[in-house]
Amino acid sequence: MSAEPGTVRPGGRTARVRTAVLRAAGDVLAEQGFDRLDLAEVARRAEVGKTTVYRRWGTVTALVADLLADMAEQSLPRTRTGAVRDDLRANALLVQRTLADPRQGALFRAVIAAAACDPRTAEALRHFYAVRIAEWAPCVSEGVARGELPVGTDPATVVRAVSAPLYYGLLTTGTAPDPAAAERAADAAVAAAQAGVYAAPVTPVTPT
Amino acid sequence: MSAEPGTVRPGGRTARVRTAVLRAAGDVLAEQGFDRLDLAEVARRAEVGKTTVYRRWGTVTALVADLLADMAEQSLPRTRTGAVRDDLRANALLVQRTLADPRQGALFRAVIAAAACDPRTAEALRHFYAVRIAEWAPCVSEGVARGELPVGTDPATVVRAVSAPLYYGLLTTGTAPDPAAAERAADAAVAAAQAGVYAAPVTPVTPT
Give the pLDDT confidence of B114-172 residue by residue, as tens digits.
Answer: 998 889 999 999 999 999 999 999 999 999 999 999 999 999 999 999 999 999 999 99
Alpha-carbon span A91 to A97, nearest angstrom: 10
In chain B, residues under CATH classification 1.10.10.60 are 12-63
Residue in A142, A178, A171 with CA at minimum distance from that of residue A159: A142
Q: Is A56 on the interface with B (CB under 8 A)?
A: no
Residue in B50, B45, B19 with CA at minimum distance from that of residue B32: B45
* CATH label, B12-63, candidates 2.60.40.10, 1.10.3720.10, 1.10.10.60, 3.90.1150.200: 1.10.10.60
Torsion angle (degrees, nearest 10) of CA B90, B94, B100, B104: 180
Residue in A97, A84, A95 with CA at minimum distance from that of residue A191: A84
Q: Which residue of chain B has the CA closest to A130?
A: B173
Alpha-carbon span B49 to B147, nearest angstrom: 57
Confidence (pLDDT) at A12: 87
Say which amino acid occupies A88.
L
Q: For residue B112, list chain A residues with Cβ-Cβ distance below 8 A.
A: 112-113, 116, 171-172
Confidence (pLDDT) at A8: 46
Quote the DSSP letter at residue A176.
Answer: P
> Would the CB atoms of B191 and A195 count as touching at under 8 Å?
yes
Question: B80: Cβ–Cβ under 8 A, 6 or more apart, which residues?
Answer: B87, B139
Residue B130 distance to chain A (closest CA, Å)? 9
pLDDT tens, residue by residue, A56-93: 999 999 999 999 999 999 888 999 999 999 999 999 99
ipTM tops the 0.85 cut: yes
Window A:85-124, CB contacts with B under 8 Å = 109-110, 112-117, 122
Residue count of chain A, please give it: 208
Residue in B126, B35, B171, B117 with CA at minimum distance from that of residue A112: B171
Confidence (pLDDT) at B13: 87
Torsion angle (degrees, nearest 10) of CA B204, A149, B167, B123: 0
pTM as predicted = 0.89
Quote the DSSP letter at residue A143.
Answer: H
Q: For residue B117, list chain A residues with Cβ-Cβ distance below 8 A.
A: 33, 35, 110, 113
Q: For residue B114, list chain A residues with Cβ-Cβ distance below 8 A.
A: 113
Window B:10-29, CB contacts with A under 8 Å = none
pLDDT tens, residue by residue, A86-110: 999 999 999 999 999 999 999 999 9
In chain B, residues under CATH classification 1.10.357.10 are 75-194
Instruction: Please give the CATH topology (third level) of the domain spanning B75-194.
Output: Tetracycline Repressor; domain 2 (1.10.357)
